[in-house]
Amino acid sequence: MTEPAPHPFFGARAAVAETVGVDRRQFLFSIGAIGLGATLGGRVLDRIFAADEIDTLRRTVDTEQQWIMVFDLRRCDGCRDCIKGCQAEHHLPESTEWIKVYEMMDTQGRSYSMPVLCMECQEAPCVRVCPVQATYYRPDGVVLVDEKVCIGCRMCIAACPYGARVFNWDKQTDIAPELYDDRPEYTVPQRQGTVGKCTLCVHHLEVDEFPACIEACSMKAIYVGNLVTDSASNGRETVVLSKFLRDNDAFRFREELGTKSRVYYIAGHGQQLDY
């Protein structure tokens, strides 16, 4: 039986030729990027990952992947399907949310939805404060928690400025034995008395599959990107990452903290979108 061809984002392993254009027949709404950045306490960046920065990254890393995520807030409608997809994939109880969707207000009084999850920080406070090194960086930039090592001190929860970590108070008993897995990349069930968080579904990325939240998002508002290949995809379209971020005024939440988050947001500047 012939295996299906991988999605172009995974199959190319190289920079994408050109970004997908914007269809001006449809108009969502206009949100001022600078105003939104001020509301969130983050700094809007007019240039992100310029070509020379990406070239420097390619020369300094020895991995084929350096993962990031991008949320296009122009498309997010707050449906919470990303949360449900995450919970189903990781067999999380309904009370445990590794993604939180907040209703925000911009400077012009308009509401919008903003998903927040682990920011996969390059300068992660959680990694610095963990007394037993249960939280650590993977070579591809993903931050993981080894729940076999975690002692449940919750110092990482206190250190995270994004509220992205969850303490596992209860023992999960409704997991079928054949689903059990104790890898940091995919721990099922979550261990009682330890800390859990988004893993970027790295167990999927390792086999050229998209994270569960991207698969679940009907609005295609979530992208996974690879800094090394300068590409990103939401499962439907593949774009040149640096151009996509720069052209759409991407920003990082609470940029002023210096955590070097690998999660970017796009508020846009009144572009029309094609669905």
- What fold is seen in the domain 23-266? Alpha-Beta Plaits (3.30.70)
Query: Taking the complete model, does pTM exceed 0.85, yes or no?
Result: no
pLDDT digits (tens, 9 = 90+) for 15-44: 444 444 433 223 233 323 333 333 343 333
pLDDT score recorded for residue 8: 85
Sign of CA dihedral 194, 199, 205, 210: positive
pLDDT score recorded for residue 4: 67
Residues in the chain: 275
**Domain layout of the chain by residue ranges:** 23-266
Mean pLDDT of 200-208: 96
In this model, does residue 163 exceed pLDDT 50? yes
In this model, does residue 260 exceed pLDDT 70? yes
pLDDT score recorded for residue 274: 57
> Among residues 231, 266, 265, 260, which one has the least CA distance to residue 120?
260
Q: How far are the Cα atoms of 89, 131, 170, 274 from residue 93, in angstroms, in the given order?
A: 11, 28, 10, 35
More reliable by pLDDT, 129 or 1? 129
pLDDT score recorded for residue 15: 44
In this model, does residue 162 exceed pLDDT 90? yes
